[in-house]
Structure formats: structure tokens, C-alpha cells
């Protein structure tokens, strides 16, 4: 069985490992919940006292109302700090009863403690985890207490023949077991009640696990499907980049070297031919064409992925890109020690290359500025020109393709291009 719920509906439940896994789950629940439950019950005490006074027809003291307010404030301020790590433990413990992964609904948090707290306290997932923490520490102990009492009665019935001898007697509520015959009957009843007790324990554990899965997991199917689409698109982009690098390597190590060798051989042949030979002119043209083809192939290899990008990183690669541009390009980029992830560098360089190409072809600009902001967590790339502006993403597939590529890396592309006001392409890429 893949989880405990289908196993509970079968007759082989008692012969499987699920009763023992349920027992282990409940035992570890007691271990995890005990220290937190003590604090939760302390906070709940003013509420219990107030409810008891109201039920007895007494007016609660104003101190009780003050303590109730204090307990709510303490719970709201500090409860999430306990609920978030407790929920992480519970998601891992759910593997005892259900191997399906339970993903957290939290968004990735920054490393800054203040930003982490601000993000966590603003998420609905945090308050769902706090609700589960209250159920875990207030309701679950009561249910387990009832289960412990039932288990104690079961053990008393099973062991009745050992204790209900001579003048000894076992008192179970209004029932007294003090004879061997009554003890034997009690023992038989205890044996008969073992399967129902096992199913009851399994049901309690399964219900707790279901509540944990509902409150601690990301149950939004739409967002889950979107994440899977994003992961699939990222895998396609990674595969595409791997194929681009393979093509670049094959062209650089294979075709380019062979073309270089061919150009050298044609040059040597030119030297060996007499000046007035009929083959001299065709050989000269072939040699010139081979040199032009070698330059073209070198540009193609560089356009796929420049060698400097892999060797030195994004900042030197952008400066090299600016040097090769047909118009003045200023690169404002920090000298970094820690490089961004490889896919972020590749995406940023590709956007800069395409943006500069678009400026050269369409913008009629006189100057371009490429700015990089890198703080260790996010990389921001801006390409700004002083051209004609008026860039329209719907007019062609270039900007749309750039936006898709950036989105596949988990980032976003912003465009500002008023007519006559130049164009700004801004790319924000997360590196966490």
C-alpha cells in the first residue's frame, strides 16, 4: 500500500507494518509535542478558567480577560517562530504514513533575518502552520489521552488472569473482576478487542496525518501545475544550453581547426604556384574565401557562447561584447569575487547580446549603456540606449523570446521604450 488510508480499508491491515508504523508515528508525536504542548496549555489556561467560570454562572475576574489578551498577543508574536520549524519536522514525519512528498507552501526567503520575518508573517502558509500547531498541542493530546485510557483498559482485560487471583480484584468502572472465571472471560474480551484497537490507533494516526497534509502542504493544484511547467521549461532550457555548448565545442575543436588547416594549406599552395599560372587566380579566391569563412565561423562560435564567459565570467564577457559592438557601449559592472550561477550568467549575456543587436539594427542610437547590479542574491541587467524608442514586443518574436528565456530562468524582463525617448531593457534574475 502506498499510504495508510488504503491499508485501513483492507483485512490485511493487522498483518502489515502499518499498525507498527502508526504506533511509531504516535510515539514520536508525543516526543515532539510534549515541550510545545506545555507552553500551549499555559497560554490556553486563562481561556479554560474563563469558560469554566461562565459555565458555573460566575462572572470571570478582569484579570482573566487581561491574561486572555496577553496569551493572544504572545501567540501571534511568537507562535509563527515555533510553528514554522515544527511544520518542517511534521512534513518529514509524514513519511512514516504516506511516502508522498509534502511540499511547503512558503516562498523562498532571503537570508536577512528582518526580511525573513517580514515575509513569513505575511504568508497564509505560516498561519496555517500555526493552526496546525494549536491542533497538534491542544487537541491531539486530548485524543491521545482517550486512546491511552482505552489501551489501559485493554491491557487490564488481557492481564486479568494474572492479577484477579485469591483476594485480589480488578476494578474496571462498575465492573469487578475477582474470580478466575471472570478473569478468563475478561481475557477473551481483551483478545477480541485487539483488532478494533489497532484499527482505532491507525485511524487516529491517519486522521492526524491528513490534517497535517491539508494544513502544512501546498495544496493549490494550479500553483503545483505551474511549478511543474516551470521546472519542465527550465529542464528544456538546460538541455538547450547543453546542446549549444556541444555545438560550440564541435565547431571550435573540429570544424574551425580543420578550416584553419585548410586556409594554411591554401596559403602554402599559393606560395608554390608560379605567379603567371592559370590556377593562381582561382587559388587566390579560394584562399580569400576560406579566410572569410574562418572569420564567419569564429563569429558564429562566439555568438553561441563566448569562451571568456565560461573562463572569466559575465562581467569580462560583457566588456568583450561591448568592444565588438559597432557603436559606443559603456559597461558599468562591479568586479565580483563570487560569480552568479552559470545559467544566470548565460541568460544575462544572451539578453545583453540580443539587446545590443536590436539596438544596432533598429534603434538608430548613438550610445548604449549596459549596467549590472549584483548583490549575491539577485542579478539585475539593464541595457539602455538613446535611440528612437517605440519598441513593440508584439511586432516580432525577438523581445518575446527574450522574455520567455528570462522567465525560464525564474526571472522577469521589463521594457520601457517611449517613442523618441530611447529604450530600456531591464532583466531581474534570482540567484538564490
Query: For residue 205, what is its C-alpha cell?
Result: 494516526
Do residues 272 and 368 share a domain? no
Average pLDDT over residues 183-212: 90
Query: For residue 248, what is its C-alpha cell?
Result: 560550440
Q: Which among 397, 401, 363 is positioned nearest to 383, based on CA atoms?
A: 363
Q: Please give the pLDDT value at position 78.
A: 93
Higher per-residue confidence, 237 vs 385: 385
Do residues 300 and 343 share a domain? no
Boundary of a domain, candidates 305, 333, 364:
305
User: Considering its fold, how many domains does the chain have in total?
Assistant: 3
Q: pLDDT tens digits, residue range 361-382?
A: 888 888 999 999 887 778 999 9
Q: Please give the pLDDT value at position 127.
A: 93
The DSSP-derived string for 49-96 is: HHHHHHHTT-PPPHHHHHHHHHHHHHHHHHHHHHHHHHHHHHHHHGGG
Name which of 236-240, 328-332, 366-370 the model is least confident about. 236-240
Query: What is the Cα–Cα distance from 155 to 286, expressed in whole angstroms?
Result: 99
Do residues 294 and 312 share a domain? no
Q: Decide if pLDDT at 131 tops 80.
A: yes
Q: Please give the pLDDT value at position 149.
A: 92
Pairing of strands 170-172, 329-332: unpaired
Predicted confidence band at 145 (pLDDT cuts at 50, 70, 90)? very high
Query: What is the Cα–Cα distance from 317 to 309, expressed in whole angstroms?
Result: 5
Q: pLDDT tens digits, residue range 42-52?
A: 999 988 888 88
Mean pLDDT of the chain: 82
Q: pLDDT tens digits, residue range 28-87?
A: 999 999 999 999 999 999 888 888 888 888 877 778 888 889 999 999 999 999 999 999
Do residues 198 and 316 share a domain? no
Domain that holds residue 314: 306-432
Boundary of a domain, candidates 256, 288, 305:
305
Q: Decide if pLDDT at 222 tops 50.
A: no
User: What are the two backbone dihedrals, phi and then psi, of residue 194, each rounded to the nearest 5 degrees?
Assistant: -60, -50
Higher per-residue confidence, 268 vs 196: 196
Q: What's the CATH number where 369 sits?
A: 3.30.565.10
pTM of this structure: 0.54
Do residues 254 and 370 share a domain? no
Distant-in-sequence, close-in-space partners of 414: CB < 8 Å, separation ≥ 6: 424, 425, 426, 427, 428
Do residues 163 and 68 share a domain? yes
Q: Decide if pLDDT at 350 tops 60.
A: yes
Sign of the alpha-carbon torsion through 65, 67, 73, 75: negative
Do residues 118 and 77 share a domain? yes
User: What are the two backbone dihedrals, phi and then psi, of residue 183, each rounded to the nearest 5 degrees?
Assistant: -65, -40
Boundary of a domain, candidates 277, 305, 333:
305
Query: For residue 119, what is its C-alpha cell?
Result: 515575509
Do residues 334 and 295 share a domain? no
Predicted confidence band at 408 (pLDDT cuts at 50, 70, 90)? confident
For the chain, state the CA radius of gyration: 37
Average pLDDT over residues 95-103: 85
Predicted confidence band at 21 (pLDDT cuts at 50, 70, 90)? very high
Q: Please give the pLDDT value at position 396.
A: 62
Q: Please give the pLDDT value at position 135.
A: 93
Average pLDDT over residues 317-344: 85
Q: pLDDT tens digits, residue range 164-189?
A: 655 566 767 667 777 778 888 888 88
Assess contact for 329 and 411: CB atoms under 8 A: no
Element containing residue 384 per DSSP (H, E): strand 378-385
Q: Please give the pLDDT value at position 236.
A: 59
Name which of 222-231, 297-306, 390-399 the model is least confident about. 222-231
Average pLDDT over residues 154-167: 76
Do residues 100 and 214 share a domain? yes
Assess contact for 84 and 126: CB atoms under 8 A: yes
Predicted confidence band at 342 (pLDDT cuts at 50, 70, 90)? confident
Q: Which among 273, 299, 301, 303 is positioned nearest to 287, based on CA atoms?
A: 273
Query: For residue 56, what is its C-alpha cell?
Result: 458555573
Do residues 271 and 310 share a domain? no
Predicted confidence band at 196 (pLDDT cuts at 50, 70, 90)? very high
Query: What is the Cα–Cα distance from 242 to 424, expressed in whole angstroms?
Result: 30
Do residues 242 and 353 share a domain? no
Do residues 47 and 196 share a domain? yes
In the numeric block, the cell 574551425 is attached to: 256
Average pLDDT over residues 202-211: 93
Q: Which residues pair with 65 in a beta bridge?
A: none
Amino acid at each position: 500500500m502506498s499510504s495508510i488510508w488504503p491499508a485501513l480499508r483492507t483485512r490485511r491491515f493487522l498483518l502489515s507494518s502499518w499498525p507498527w508504523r502508526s504506533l511509531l508515528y504516535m510515539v514520536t508525536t508525543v516526543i515532539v509535542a510534549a515541550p510545545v504542548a506545555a507552553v500551549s496549555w499555559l497560554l490556553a489556561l486563562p481561556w479554560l478558567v474563563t469558560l469554566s467560570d461562565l459555565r458555573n454562572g460566575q462572572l470571570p475576574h478582569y484579570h482573566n480577560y487581561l491574561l486572555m489578551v496577553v496569551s493572544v498577543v504572545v501567540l501571534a508574536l511568537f507562535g509563527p517562530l515555533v510553528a514554522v520549524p515544527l511544520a518542517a519536522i511534521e512534513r518529514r514525519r509524514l513519511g512514516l504514513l504516506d511516502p508522498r512528498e509534502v511540499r511547503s507552501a512558503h516562498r523562498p526567503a532571503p537570508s536577512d533575518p528582518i526580511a525573513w520575518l517580514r515575509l513569513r508573517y505575511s504568508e497564509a502558509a505560516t498561519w496555517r502552520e500555526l493552526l496546525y500547531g494549536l491542533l497538534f498541542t491542544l487537541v491531539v493530546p486530548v485524543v491521545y489521552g482517550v486512546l491511552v485510557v482505552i489501551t489501559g483498559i485493554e491491557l487490564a482485560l488481557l492481564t486479568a488472569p494474572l492479577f484477579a487471583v485469591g483476594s485480589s480484584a480488578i476494578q474496571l468502572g462498575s465492573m469487578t473482576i475477582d474470580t478466575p472465571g471472570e478473569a478468563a472471560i475478561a481475557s477473551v474480551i481483551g483478545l477480541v478487542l485487539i483488532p478494533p484497537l489497532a484499527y482505532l490507533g491507525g485511524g487516529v494516526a491517519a486522521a492526524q496525518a491528513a490534517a497535517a497534509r491539508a494544513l502544512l502542504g501546498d495544496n493549490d493544484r494550479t500553483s503545483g501545475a505551474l511549478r511543474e511547467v516551470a521546472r519542465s521549461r527550465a529542464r528544456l532550457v538546460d538541455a538547450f544550453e547543453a546542446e549549444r555548448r556541444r555545438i560550440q565545442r564541435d565547431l571550435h575543436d573540429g570544424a574551425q581547426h580543420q578550416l584553419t588547416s585548410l586556409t594554411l594549406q591554401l596559403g602554402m599552395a599559393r606560395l608554390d604556384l608560379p605567379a603567371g599560372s592559370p590556377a593562381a587566380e582561382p587559388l587566390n579566391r579560394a584562399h580569400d574565401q576560406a579566410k572569410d569563412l574562418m572569420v564567419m565561423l569564429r563569429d558564429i562560435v562566439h555568438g553561441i557562447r563566448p569562451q571568456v564567459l565560461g573562463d572569466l565570467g559575465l562581467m569580462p564577457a560583457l566588456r568583450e561584447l561591448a568592444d565588438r559592438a559597432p557603436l559606443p557601449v559603456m559597461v558599468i559592472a562591479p568586479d565580483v569575487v563570487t560569480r552568479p550561477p552559470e545559467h544566470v550568467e548565460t541568460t544575462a549575456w544572451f539578453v545583453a547580446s540580443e539587446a545590443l543587436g536590436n539596438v544596432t539594427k533598429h534603434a538608430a542610437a548613438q550610445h548604449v549603456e549596459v549596467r549590472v547590479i549584483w548583490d549575491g542574491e539577485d542579478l539585475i541587467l539593464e541595457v539602455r540606449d538613446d535611440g528612437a524608442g517605440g519598441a513593440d514586443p508584439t511586432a516580432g518574436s525577438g523581445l518575446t523570446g527574450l522574455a520567455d528565456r528570462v522567465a525560464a530562468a525564474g526571472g522577469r524582463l521589463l521594457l520601457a521604450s517611449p517613442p523618441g525617448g530611447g529604450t530600456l531593457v531591464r532583466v531581474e534574475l534570482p540567484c538564490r
